[in-house]
Amino acid sequence: MFPFLLIFISSLFFVGIINRVRSRLCGRKGPGIFQALFDIWRLFNKSTIYSRDTSFIFQIAPTVSFASIICAILVVPFDGHAGFLSFEGDFIFFAYILATGKFFMILSALDTGSPFEGMGANREALYSMLVEPAFFILIGSLAMLTNNTSFFDIFNALHADSSVSAFLVILATYLIFQITLIENSRLPVDDPKTHLELTMVHEVMILDNSGFDLGLLLYGNSLKFAMYGLLIANFFHDLIIPADNFFSNAGVAWLADIPKILLCLIVQVIFAAAVGFSESFRSRAPMRHNPQIIFTLTAVALLVFFSVLIISNKL
């Protein structure tokens, strides 16, 4: 459960750091780092209102979506600590359990009968379909490089001990960064601050959600950010934390985890700041260009694939 606790702790401040960085770069003081968490807590204490035109699918969709994120988190490892549900091929489970939650949210948006929410659901489904090949090519390439098919074994066997391997890690980090922005409906494909239904994607899908359900969806986004941040931290643990360090030689088992915790938190803070910095200096892309932008990630993933072929002398 060590990786799960790291993700939970990181989720408490992740979105707050993004908002804080954006505010500072725009010359504003902005909200506090934990303001987003306070807003979610306020929603948890409010009652949920359901339209008489919706069915039980609309009522269970936020819970299913949140549960899918929790299940996905349980397979994410970190530096010698396997995920709670670690098994062979768990990265496929990771991708499709998240897709299950998204599928229920799409059904929920369609269940309302709103044309705006239907448009948002259509775009969400399209963007998820386009980003899926990039994720599977990336993780599949790492699986081929390490001859393993679980997150835990892949990251444990992954070492950036050459210039090609370092290039591979940089490309993989870039891909996870961009996939995170798309999966969390951030710029340039979506703008969480927009109020125009015609250009919304994720926000227009949850217009009818309120109270506790809306709080679940917002906190689920924070967990997804922290989850992908921990995936990125797995790429760098071997470069920063030596196996033989002061804490590991202290003779107390839990002390050996202190550098790992610090590394994870540092990576999460840098990741959140990078998201805020990126969103401060880029505009939302025209809707017609979003598929092209997303599908470009597949081309970058192919670079990872060919790098793996070079490293393994298969090209």
Q: Is the N-terminal amide bond of 188 cis, ω within 30° of 0?
A: yes
Average pLDDT, integer, range 188-199: 82
Q: Tokens 């088992």 sit at which residue?
A: 253
Q: What is the pLDDT of residue 236?
A: 84
Q: What is the pLDDT of residue 196?
A: 78
Q: Which residues of 188-209 are buried (b: 16+ CB within 10 A; e: fewer)?
A: bbbbbeeeeeebbbbbbbbbbb
Q: What is the pLDDT of residue 70?
A: 97
Residues paired with residue 81 on neighbouring β-strands, in sequence order: 78
The Cα–Cα gap between 160 and 172 comes to: 12
The Cα–Cα gap between 232 and 211 comes to: 32
With a cut of 60, say whether residue 256 has pLDDT above it: yes
With a cut of 90, say whether residue 63 has pLDDT above it: yes
Average pLDDT, integer, range 102-115: 95
Q: What value does the mean pLDDT of the chain take? A: 90
With a cut of 80, say whether residue 84 has pLDDT above it: yes
Q: What is the pLDDT of residue 245?
A: 53
Q: What is the pLDDT of residue 152?
A: 94
pLDDT tens-digit series, residues 121-155: 999 999 999 999 999 999 999 999 999 999 999 99
**Angle 35-37-39 (CA atoms, 0-180°, nearest 5)?**
70
Q: What is the pLDDT of residue 108?
A: 96
pLDDT tens-digit series, residues 217-236: 999 999 999 999 999 999 88
Q: Tokens 């643990």 sit at which residue?
A: 237
| Token pair in block for residue 291 | 């598929």
Q: Are 164 and 310 in contact (CB under 8 A)?
A: yes
Q: Express as a percent the part of the chain with pLDDT over 90.
A: 70
Q: What is the pLDDT of residue 8?
A: 95
Residue 249 confidence class, pLDDT cut points 50, 70, 90:
low
pTM of the predicted model as reported, rounded to 2 decimal places: 0.93
Average pLDDT, integer, range 264-284: 93
With a cut of 80, say whether residue 46 has pLDDT above it: yes
Q: What is the pLDDT of residue 199?
A: 81
- Residue 81 phi/psi, 5-degree rounding, is -110, 110
pLDDT tens-digit series, residues 163-176: 778 888 899 999 99
Residue predicted with more confidence, 78 or 237: 78
Residue 77 confidence class, pLDDT cut points 50, 70, 90:
very high
Q: What is the pLDDT of residue 307?
A: 87
Average pLDDT, integer, range 296-310: 93
Q: Which amino acid, 28?
A: R
Residue 244 confidence class, pLDDT cut points 50, 70, 90:
low
Q: What is the pLDDT of residue 241?
A: 55
